[in-house]
Amino acid sequence: MAADPSAPCADAPSSRLRPHTRRQPWILTYHSVTDTGDDPYGITVSPRRLGEQLAWLRSRGLRGVGVSELMRAHAAGRRDLVGLTFDDGYRDFLQEALPVLRVHGCTATVFVLPGRPGGVNEWDPLGPRKPLLTHDEIRRVAGAGMEVGSHGLLHQDLTTLSDEELRHETVRSRELTGELTGTLPEGFCYPYGTLDRRVAEAVRSAGYGYGCALAPGPLLSRFALPRTHISQADRGVRLWAKDLRHGLRHGAVPGAGARTADPVRAGGPQ
């Protein structure tokens, strides 16, 4: 794909080597960071591989930050940041991911499940069972300078819930997370990346500032941000290909950087 000639030229010189012009933020999705021996869902990256991936980003002039910081910086014209997100709130974030992030000068957004404190990932039938952060550990994540966002209360497919249940998952998880960290969360992450218009609207009405999806299709907006799943297999060329694919698939996110944008209609077919 040829570079968009209308794109701003304020990027660092190394951006000329990048596969696209970064007109829209790139957000990476991680889950668990630990030994990858038993990993049927491909949600685990070893601490060593995470370090290699962050080093790869740095070699391309990019640094990982939480999504709120990324969105603010992107709106201000910065193009040297990448969003790092860790879904499900696994306890190994504190033990394994955080030290690696610190070595590389990165921050991240951790999407927690305040309705399952100290629980496990029961929603993955094949296992293995991985411990989730306790409430105290969620506080520690926030105290370590990471952004803490909500992944709902219990990790449910929100599109299957009644309006009342949906409100509970979005509103109550925001309140609980805010009570734990002292700050009402800006970010929400849809369990399984699954959403529809009703769910996106519920997240917006609950007071969140953005919502992370995976491949939101026509719902693409500030409340349905696309993200790229990162696996243990992702190294230089594969990461480069994923970056390229992101740039080819997604134009600028409608409403990104504009809090007043209509999240549901923006980018939608109506």
Footprint of Zn ion on this chain (CB under 5 A)? Answer: 87-88, 191
CA 177, CA 258: separation in Å to the nearest integer?
A: 24
Cα–Cα distance for residue pair 231/49, rounded to 1 Å: 9
For the CB of residue 87, give the shortest distance to Zn ion in the complex, in Å.
Answer: 4
Q: How far apart are CA 135 and CA 112, in angstroms?
A: 10
Task: Tell the smallest beta-carbon distance from residue 121 to Zn ion (Å).
Answer: 8
| CB of residue 191 to Zn ion, shortest distance in Å | 5
Give the residue with the Cβ less far from Zn ion, 87 or 243. Answer: 87
Q: What are the φ/ψ torsions at residue 113 (nearest 5 degrees)?
A: -115, 85
Nearer to Zn ion, 123 or 240 (CB): 123
Question: CA 127, 128, 129, 130: dihedral to nearest 10 degrees?
Answer: -120
Residue 118: CB minimum distance to Zn ion, A: 17
Alpha carbon distance 199, 209 (integer Å):
14
At its nearest, how many Å lie between Zn ion and the CB of residue 195?
Answer: 13
Please name the residue that has the structure tokens 């709120």. 68
148: left (phi over 0), alpha (psi -120 to 50) or beta: beta
Q: What is the β-pairing status of strands 147-150 and 44-45?
A: unpaired
Q: Which is nearer to Zn ion, 64 or 191 (CB)?
A: 191
Compare residues 56 and 232 and give the one whose CB is closer to Zn ion: 232
Closest CB to Zn ion among residues 31, 222: 31
Which of residues 60 and 93 has its CB atom nearest to Zn ion in the complex? 93
Indicate the residue among 88 and 243 with the shorter CB distance to Zn ion.
88
What is d(CA 27, CA 44) in angstroms, rounded to the nearest whole number? 17
Is residue 38 within 8 Å of 261, Cβ to Cβ? no
CB of 135 to Zn ion, least distance (A): 18
- Positive or negative: CA dihedral 230, 236, 241, 245: positive
Q: What gap in Å lies between CA 251 and CA 120, rounded to an integer? A: 37
Residue 43: CB minimum distance to Zn ion, A:
8
